[in-house]
A and B are shown apart, each in its own frame.
Chain A
Amino acid sequence: MGRRPFSLFWALCAAAGVVLLTFVVLPAGSMIAEAGAGLLGEALRQDDVRRSLVLTVSAALITTVIGFVVGVPLAYLLARKEFPGKRAVEGVIDLPIVFPHTAAGVALLTVYGRQGVVGRLLAPLGIEFTETMAGIVLAMLFVSLPFLVDGAREAFALVDERYEHVARTLGSSRFGAFARVTFPQAWRGVLAGAVLMWGRGISEFGAVVILAYNPKVISVLTFERFEGFGLRAAQPPAVLIVLVAFVAFLLARTFLVPRRRRTGKGQR
């Protein structure tokens, strides 16, 4: 008997995959190929592009650190505890994913703008969110927090809670059990969520452009150049940010893809 023929079912699945991959890879690939090394060098020589790159990357980094500090405890709570309204909390956390981001920007401006409820309160303290780095971080945080919270929650949920029970009977406090037993098993998943959050942050346009057009993050700069000077002028910042994102994701996928929970299979 020969090999079983590749079934039509799998062939159709594979065909769908090829269509999808082409759809994703073609624009990014052709943009980079067309640009070549020359355009990349040109991008790096332009002051406004360099400034914008540093601003975008660092604002996304600050956003991620803030997200980590507030998001990880919430993710852990959601992974471990059942409480009334938990579904609602999870829904609210994921809401920014379905929000049109320009609408998110308008909503943020309503609250944190100079005339907004919070904006008015914070202005006397010198904290302003319109046309500032703080505004960029705020917009990035709003749209990217779900990625970290969801990723971290999944990672924590994969760690059997009974590990913590054992740790606590061995003398660890609740925090000690989390820090010494749960987090070391979940950190890859949490960090993968953080990288996704950072990636979502650097690519944000809609919310940022409404809350803080200036200083210009790279997506705003790309848009402005396209509007003002056409495709050729928009290419350098676009190529640069795509490459930065690509390298970051490549590293993250190589080192951080969370390990699947092991089954008994294959273990001695």
Chain B
Amino acid sequence: MIELLGLEVEAGGFRVGPVGLRAGDGRYVVLLGPSGAGKSLVLEAAAGVRGAAAGRIRLAGADVTGLTPERRRVGLVFQDGLLFPHLTVAANIAYGMRAAGRDGVAAGGAAPRSRGHRLSARVREEKVRRLAATVGVTALLDRRPATLSGGERQRVALARALAAGPRALLLDEPLSAVDPEAREELQEVLRRICGERRLPVLHVTHDRDEAFALADECVVLIGGRVHQAGKPLEVLRRPADAAVARFLGARNVLPARRDPADPRLAVLDAGGALPTASPLPAEAVVVVVRPEDLRLAPAGDPAAATAATVTRLTLQGGHVLVGLAAPAPLDALVPAGELDAAGITVGQKVTVSVRPEHVHVLPAG
């Protein structure tokens, strides 16, 4: 288990934290946030390559805050793999076994040092082969890092980290430099290793999809401060504040007030209104609606709530992001086929509806 307890990190006048999080054995925690949020600083402090300004770091129940990186036994993987370019893939993977042996730092699972050098070398080779098979790089063992693809490099970096017998895996944007197809495969490898080896994983990323695909728990860090922590779906559906909602792609984050006549109707400051599931408070609020929760219908549909004009259409994969003036600016995400069938085009009048339970209400400010 890895625990960060009120961890604060400082770099160049920028202070991050306090960050509190816990990844149990076999649990996958993603620290999610935009660039410049301070995620990597947290990870570096957890690895011990950067000092903590305040707070504690615990690994498997032991306080490691004051320990040097080589005594912490954590596996660190960076975005670009950072394989040692002067070593072969096999030598990269074996690095941790050797370093641990030389420096007298215990590496779990390393070859017993009491045996002869020859045998321990053989044991090492065997272990390298096993790890290479685990991450699917057996055919690459004699290659140099410069000849590998982004995905291959990350697999090797992962095997190298595992070879030293880490008590936790710390991953800094490990999929950012990987092709989309290779990314899905690598995600599977990461999940499998975390589960099979019962390793706690702390994974840092700015990519929401990556976070939601992998995480047991998400911690959202924005501007150096933890805004929310929870299960991915919970964070996605119930953002703690407007900043989290915006970062998670809610797009429709709108200041509003309670309708004097109907406490379950939010009157948007920019015009228009949206229904809510529970009565609104008297004070100003912010309502959040994810674009995929908005429904469009041709104008005049009796079930629709608000009239709007289509201002722009942007293709996004198999969906279309529809810009609307309702008159508040709204974004709706609609399956491309559905849009086609309804014959919706730019400039057209439509009606917009949303189920009240999909309108998330946050305190203003």
Contact = CB atoms under 8 A, between A and B. Distances in A.
A42 to B, nearest CB: 47
A160 interface: yes
Contacts of B118: none
Nearest to A259: B85
A169 B149 contact: no
A171 B148 contact: no
B96 A171 contact: yes
B161 to A, nearest CB: 8
Contacts of A170: 70, 95-96, 99-100, 160-161, 163-164
A169 B85 contact: no
A169 B164 contact: yes
B99 A162 contact: no
Interface stretch (A5-13, A99-107, A115-123, A180-188): A180-188
Given A185-B85, A268-B148, A268-B149, A166 B78 contact: yes
Most buried by B among A160, A170, A176, A185: A170
A173 interface: yes
Contact of A176 (B75, B102, B160): B102
B147 A171 contact: no
A184 B78 CA distance: 20
Contacts of A162: 78, 82
Contacts of A181: 84
Interface in A159-177: 160, 162-163, 165-174, 176
Contact of A171 (B49, B78, B82, B103): B103
Interface in B29-85: 44, 47-49, 68-70, 72-76, 78, 82, 84-85
Given A163-B84, A165-B69, A172 B99 contact: yes
A165 B69 CA distance: 8
A180 B92 CA distance: 11
A166 B78 CA distance: 8
A188 B350 CA distance: 68
A169 B76 contact: yes
B146 interface: yes
A6 B302 CA distance: 71
B131 interface: no
A176 B85 contact: no
A80 B74 CA distance: 23
A169 B86 contact: no
A171 B84 contact: no
B70 A169 contact: yes
Most buried by B among A171, A174, A176, A262: A171
A267 interface: yes
Contacts of B78: 162, 166
A262 B103 contact: no
B99 A171 contact: yes
Nearest to A82: B12
A268 B84 contact: no
Contacts of A165: 44, 47, 49, 69, 76
B69 A168 contact: yes
Most buried by A among B47, B68, B84, B102: B84
A136 B70 CA distance: 44
Nearest to B102: A176
B253 interface: no
Contacts of A176: 70, 99, 102-103
A185 B86 contact: yes
Given A185-B85, A267-B146, A268-B147, A167 B99 contact: yes
Contacts of B346: none
A171 B105 CA distance: 6
Nearest to A262: B146
Contacts of A262: 146
B202 interface: no
Contact of B70 (A163, A173, A184, A185): A173
Given A169-B47, A171-B107, A163 B82 contact: yes
Given A162-B78, A162-B82, A176-B99, A171 B164 contact: yes
Most buried by A among B68, B69, B100: B69
Nearest to A172: B99
18 contacts: A167-B95, A168-B70, A169-B69, A169-B70, A169-B72, A169-B161, A169-B170, A170-B95, A170-B99, A170-B160, A170-B161, A171-B73, A180-B99, A184-B86, A185-B86, A262-B146, A267-B146, A267-B147
Q: Which 7 A-B pairs have the closest CB atoms?
A: A171-B100, A170-B96, A171-B99, A168-B69, A165-B49, A169-B76, A172-B99
Given A169-B161, A170-B160, 18 more contacts: A163-B84, A165-B47, A165-B49, A166-B78, A169-B47, A169-B69, A169-B164, A169-B166, A170-B163, A171-B102, A173-B103, A174-B68, A180-B95, A184-B84, A185-B86, A267-B147, A268-B147, A268-B149
Interface of B: 44, 47-49, 68-70, 72-76, 78, 82, 84-86, 95-96, 99-100, 102-103, 105, 107, 146-149, 157, 160-161, 163-164, 166, 170
